[in-house]
A and B are shown apart, each in its own frame.
Chain A
């Protein structure tokens, strides 16, 4: 599996990681060897095996739609590095997300 410095920088950006020059260079080889190892799975015969879409053997773990009080604003904000008038305060965000 060949991996380029470009690939590493891109993946780092998607994970919002700031990598130093030497770190990025080191990760090229390390990540490539991890990916190579996973390539070995490609040798396993899976033609007759249904795809695994989830690691859990459980399904339909659901709860009834009954509300209960949460922890309240005071406790919620107690660990916040910064708070203001009941809100969490964070460095200025330029745009909304797209949830």
Chain B
């Protein structure tokens, strides 16, 4: 067989749960993990004679997403009924949007691991050095309830999720590598969190990605395309990458075995990702849009967006994550990875900016946020902003390291004690007193005895002690050229340890060098 040239083609469909207090068409609360059927009413149970009334917040959030995706927002948008015969939506239709979605014709940029433009088509690299994917549309629809299979002889239905708001985003088929699919998904999650539209927790189904995958195969001078497979049940970024990668190989292999495996001659299909086995499994042929028999929902009034309404929503658009990462990297010289860590959570990024305004030196602050605050947040099961430490206090701590008032190591201990519910000094006798104590970094540094010791005599004493305790290292540093550098470094570390992080590293280095040069 002639050599094959293949090209992966992926368009993404994404369902995003909109964080609202109530459902899309009724006032039932939006809940997670609540007892089954505890957040339902006649409307979301699909009882006859009920009428849906649209949630304003959900409509506005959908428009906000559309604007963030650089879409055109419809001046006039309406909802349609889509035939749906599963018991998790008992009306027998889903309220969705067909021909007049809230948003259409936009684009979205993401940092492509393979280099800008390599994993995304057409526009290739955008002026910003990111890859660009065109957005076909974004619309607002209702979610279904949950089916529990494998429970005895029937299926069990919980309708708490039925009727909760979802934004469905559809991209053009502009993704061309599994890595680009992964990076796109990560950046889209970051966007949704930044907009405050969704928490985007994939394990909870708050963001559901469905790649539509096929392959262009060039063979003997002509190009064929395989049928499109839509992959379901992806609940992690890794699953997205692995499923797309698997499907790429599977479709090429299937075409090799069956020359009729070509779009139009074999049906498009839905496939499910089996994470345990690492493969996609056939589910059913995909229905064409006309099979859903959409028609306008006569119970819901259309919604309109005039210029004033749109301007008000546009005013709520924050600086978007990709732009924010770029700004932090360019203005403060941060690495892209550090900038992304900070920007991952919008409140944390806001805290970072506020802290800079409060006078924090950017480089020290960035190191502390990424290394110290982020790991403390991890320990406390929250975000950096969720730790409850204010911008001014963070700025003060960063400044103390810059000015040499405390060492970076000492600053990490102070940071841990700055957290409101942390015990500032676990060795103190009376916790009642501790609770009421001053948590400013300056006060904690003094209390914990971490203020940098600039006094030469005290530092000399630690150096002498380190030399006395580490004779081998001293010998190596003095007379073993192979180990001299390493041994001197070891001694510096020992001095810092003896001083419990209080010694001034520059002074320590100076005194060690002097002492090593002394005749023995």
- Chain A positions within 8 Å of B, measured between CB atoms, are 14-16, 53-56, 58-73, 76-77, 82, 84-93, 95-99
Q: Which residue of A lies closest to B158 (CB)?
A: A87
Report the bound CA distance from A91 to B270 in whole Å: 23
Q: Is B149 touching A93 in the complex (CB atoms < 8 A)?
A: yes
Question: How far apart sit A52 and B154, CA to CA, in the bound complex (Å)?
Answer: 44
For the complex formed, measure the closest distance between the CB of A14 and the CB atoms of chain B, giving whole angstroms. Answer: 6
Chain B's nearest CB lies how many Å from the CB of A73? 4
Say whether A76 contacts B45, CB under 8 Å: yes
The answer to whether A70 touches B40 (Cβ under 8 A) is yes
Query: Which B residues form the contact surface with A (CB < 8 A)?
Result: 20-22, 26-30, 35-42, 44-45, 53-59, 76, 78, 83-89, 94, 99-100, 141-144, 147-149, 151-159, 166, 232, 270, 283-284, 291, 293, 296, 298, 300-304
Check if B28 sits within 8 Å of A67, measured CB to CB: yes
Taking a contact as CB atoms under 8 Å apart, the answer to whether B36 and A87 are in contact is yes
* Chain A nearest CB, measured from B156 CB (Å): 4
Instruction: For the complex, give the distance between the alpha carbons of A68 and B21 in Å.
Output: 9
Query: Looking at the complex, which one of B38, B89, B158, B283 makes contact with A95 (CB distance below 8 Å)?
Result: B283
- B304 x A60 contact (CB < 8 A): yes
Smallest beta-carbon distance A39→chain B, Å: 19
Q: How far is the CA of A16 from the CA of B84 in the complex (A)?
A: 10
With both beta carbons as reference points, the residue of chain B lying nearest to A91 in the complex is identified as: B154
Say whether A99 contacts B78, CB under 8 Å: no
Cα distance A71–B38 when bound, in Å?
A: 8
Q: A66-B22, A86-B35, A99-B94 are in contact. Are A59 and B29 (CB under 8 A)?
A: no
Known A-B contacts A14-B83, A16-B85, A59-B301; A84 and B40 likewise in contact (beta carbons under 8 Å) = no
Q: Whole-angstrom distance from the CB of B135 to the nearest CB of chain A?
A: 20
- Contact (Cβ within 8 A) B37 A14: no
Instruction: Provide the bound-state CA to CA distance between A76 and B145, in Å.
Output: 14
Contact B156 A84 (CB under 8 A): yes
Instruction: Please name all residues of chain A whose beta carbon is closer than 8 Å to the beta carbon of B26 when the two chains form the complex.
Output: 70
- Partner of B155 from the list A54, A66, A92, A99 (CB cut-off 8 Å) is A92
Residues on the A chain within 8 Å of B45, using CB = 71, 76
B86: which of A62, A69, A87, A97 is its contact (CB, 8 Å)? A97
Residues from chain B with a CB closer than 8 A to the CB of A60 are 301-304
- Give the docked Cα–Cα distance between A75 and B154 (Å): 21
Count of A-B contacts judged by CB separation below 8 Å: 163
Give Cα A60–Cα B76 distance, bound, in whole angstroms.
Answer: 10
- 3 closest A-B pairs by CB: A97-B86, A99-B144, A65-B57
Contacts of A73 in B (CB 8 A): 35-38, 40
A93–B27 CB distance below 8 A: no
A34 to B284, CA, bound (A): 33
- Contact present for A61 and B301 (CB under 8 Å): yes
Report the bound CA distance from A27 to B346 in whole Å: 60
**Residues of A contacting B88 with CB < 8 Å?**
96-97, 99
Known: A68-B27, A98-B270. A88 touches B291 (CB 8 A): no
Asked if A88 and B304 make an inter-chain contact with CB atoms under 8 angstroms apart, the answer reads no
The 13 sampled A-B contact pairs (Cβ below 8 Å) are A61-B301, A62-B53, A63-B53, A65-B22, A66-B21, A66-B27, A70-B29, A70-B38, A70-B41, A84-B151, A86-B37, A97-B84, A99-B166
B87 & A67 in contact (Cβ 8 Å cutoff): no
Contact between A90 and B155, CB atoms less than 8 A apart: yes
Check A88 against B87 for contact (C-beta < 8 Å).
yes
- Whole-angstrom distance from the CB of A43 to the nearest CB of chain B? 23
Q: How distant is B495 from chain A, measured CB to nearest CB, in Å?
A: 60
B42:A96 contact, CB within 8 angstroms: no
Chain A residue nearest to B41 in the complex (CB): A70
Q: Point out the residues of chain A lying under 8 angstroms from B59, CB to CB.
A: 62
- Contacts A62-B53, A90-B87 given; 14 further ones with Cβ under 8 A? A53-B296, A62-B56, A62-B303, A65-B21, A68-B29, A69-B29, A70-B39, A76-B159, A84-B151, A88-B157, A89-B156, A93-B87, A97-B144, A98-B270
